[in-house]
Amino acid sequence: MRKIICLFLGLLVIALSGCKIVSNNKGSLVIRNESGNPNVEISAVYVMPKGTSGYNLVFSGSIQNGSAHFIELEAGEYSVMIYAKTTALGVFSSETKYETGYNIYKELDENGFITVIFDGKGIYFE
């Protein structure tokens, strides 16, 4: 009986120890809006993994001036595109597309992060 209890406790300790057997293979893309204009918000974020064609939507919403948003992605190399919406007088708005550039990719490592900054005139990797 004592051996069974010790075995059970040993298995319980292993199960609760938080040992990671399988890696999640993910990192974070950080999008920062540093436009300096309270009327400009990032409304959509797209990524294109290296070796693929076309961008995939990974965020839709609102990233206000002075804010940042974290997006979890699989590890790999990415190019980024955003849409920034400018609102005038609370009524009229227009969207502009910005890209990190043709054939410009940044490596996202497992448990790492890459930062993309929007400065109101374009986006770039930090």
Q: What percent of the chain has pLDDT over 70?
A: 81
Would you state the pLDDT for residue 1?
A: 56
Q: Is residue 5 part of a domain?
A: no
The answer as to whether 110 is a domain residue is yes
Q: What is the 3-state secondary structure (H, E, C) of the chain?
A: CHHHHHHHHHHHHHHHCCCCCCCCCEEEEEEEECCCCCCEEEEEEEEEECCCCCCEEEEEEEECCCCEEEEEEECEEEEEEEEEEEEECCCEEEEEEEECCCCCCEEECCCCEEEEEECCCCEEEC
Q: Tell me the pTM.
A: 0.78
Per-residue pLDDT reduced to its tens digit, 77-88: 999 999 999 987
108-120 pLDDT, tens digit each: 999 999 999 999 9
Question: Which residues form the domain of 106?
Answer: 22-125
What CATH number should be reported for the domain holding residue 50?
2.60.40
Q: What is the mean pLDDT of residues 25-31?
A: 95
- Give a yes or no: residue 41 inside a domain: yes
Give the position of tokens 């204009």. Answer: 37
Domain assignment present for residue 14? The answer is no
